[in-house]
Amino acid sequence: MADFFLCATFLGLLAVIQPLYSLTAAPAATASSPYLSATTLFQNYEKMLTSFKIYIYNTPQENSVSTFSAQPISLFYSSLINSQFITQDPEQAHLFYIPSPPDISARSGARIVREIRTNYPYWNRTLGADHFFVASNGVDSSSDRNAVELKKNAVQISIFPTTSGNFIPHKDITLPPLNPSPLALVDEGPATKTPSYLGFMVWDDNNKRKVSSSLVNEMKGDDEFRIESEPLDRINVIKSSKFCLFAYEEGDLTWMVEAMAMGCVPVVLVDHPIQDLPLMDVLRWSEMALVVATRGGVRRLKEVLTGVDQVRYQKMRELGVTASRHLVWNLEPQPHDAFHMVMYQLWLRRHTIRYGRRQWD
């Protein structure tokens, strides 16, 4: 019954909002932006730069984070500790960061939470909702109370793509992958010549897992696709391909951002809906990337790819080029880059309910 009323109210609201929206939002203007809401984003971003404060717990795990190298996690960590966002005063903090080893398990997570909930008053105030932690593949479920609160309440930051089942949409965040050749992004603009391939995919034959290998084999027999295990001229092939294909679960997604920057529209091959794309709260992914199931084989894939008309294709390319700069990691963080956009997503998650002491003690 309560659900019904909630639902009815919500629909009523929608009915009110809908006509207003269609009157004020010019379709052309919204379609040419890669952002879900550009106005909110840039105003809110400025506010974040001046106000956002994070308190870092001094846990013994801290050291193992800083020695973790060559991953977006270590870039995130070093950027964070050297940023203006850190405060030594927990009373000033919007969010609390729990440093942990990147391969943290639910079990070791539980141990850390037990420690901080005993030694500090902050976990109990929100049961972890104003806390965040980093775990490369996300944490698994567990029956331990501390681990449950960590998984269900605290914001988890993992690397895209996250192990299935370990990501909670709207709460968790993924780090954009670290591009294999960051310089290429700066030196090379988007391609201008007519593409020679419909699709390009980097595929290692040793990776004989799951469904996509049969699709890959079909593509190998098709001139319109180029499949390579270790392309030496990757940048040239990207530039001569209309679409760049990535197998969500098994492939190498690290060069997805590079592909976007060079105007190769990314296609994610996966047989279930995905909700862990980086900057999911910021970018209009559906306007710049395609998600295609592998089970339809090469025939279905071609149908989808050739079904994108030239006008839509050009738009997808342009938006991808614009969006790519937000997905790039820098050793020295730059405005609006991957580090700052991850921070922005944390900033969006800072409003949490704090419980009075009495309720829980």
For ligand NAG, the nearest residue by Cβ is 124
Of the pair 67, 118, the CB lying nearest ligand NAG is at: 118
- What is the nearest approach in angstroms of ligand NAG to the Cβ of residue 94? 20
- For residue 360, the 8-state DSSP code is H
- CA-CA-CA-CA torsion sign (224, 227, 228, 234): positive
Between residues 124 and 179, which has the closer beta carbon with respect to ligand NAG? 124
- When the beta carbons of 110 and 305 are compared against ligand NAG, the nearer one is 110
CB of 87 to ligand NAG, least distance (A): 20
Q: For 333, which DSSP code?
A: -
For the bound state, the minimum distance from the C-beta of residue 98 to ligand NAG, rounded and expressed in Å, comes to 15
- Check whether the bond before 161 is cis (ω within 30° of 0): yes
Q: Residues interacting with ligand NAG, by CB under 6 A?
A: 117-118, 121, 124, 360
Nearest to 211 by CA among 99, 293, 127: 293
Cβ proximity to ligand NAG: between 145 and 272 the closer is 145
CB of 120 to ligand NAG, least distance (A): 6
Q: In angstroms, what is the minimal distance from the CB of 130 to ligand NAG?
A: 15
Least separation, in Å, of the C-beta of 153 and ligand NAG? 13
What is the greatest pairwise CA distance in the chain?
Answer: 69
Least distance between ligand NAG and beta carbon 62 (Å): 20
Cβ closest to ligand NAG, residue 68 vs residue 355 = 355
Cα torsion through 259, 200, 315, 327, rounded to 10: -20
The C-alpha atoms of residue 311 and residue 339 are separated, in whole angstroms, by 32
Map tokens 């996250």 to a residue. 162
Write down the least CB distance from residue 360 to ligand NAG, Å.
6
For residues 124 and 241, which CB has a smaller minimum distance to ligand NAG in the complex? 124
Shorter beta-carbon distance to ligand NAG: residue 100 or 124: 124
Helix residue ranges per DSSP H, the chain: 2-24, 27-31, 38-51, 62-66, 72-81, 106-119, 122-126, 145-152, 182-187, 212-220, 234-239, 256-261, 297-306, 310-324, 338-348, 357-360
Q: Look at residues 164, 350, 142, 178 and name the one whose alpha carbon lies nearest to residue 275.
A: 164
Q: Which residues fall within 8 angstroms of residue 56, CB to CB, at 6 or more apart?
A: 62, 80, 81, 86, 96, 97, 99
Q: Measured from the CB atom, is 119 or 314 closer to ligand NAG?
A: 119
Q: Are 359 and 101 in contact (CB under 8 A)?
A: no
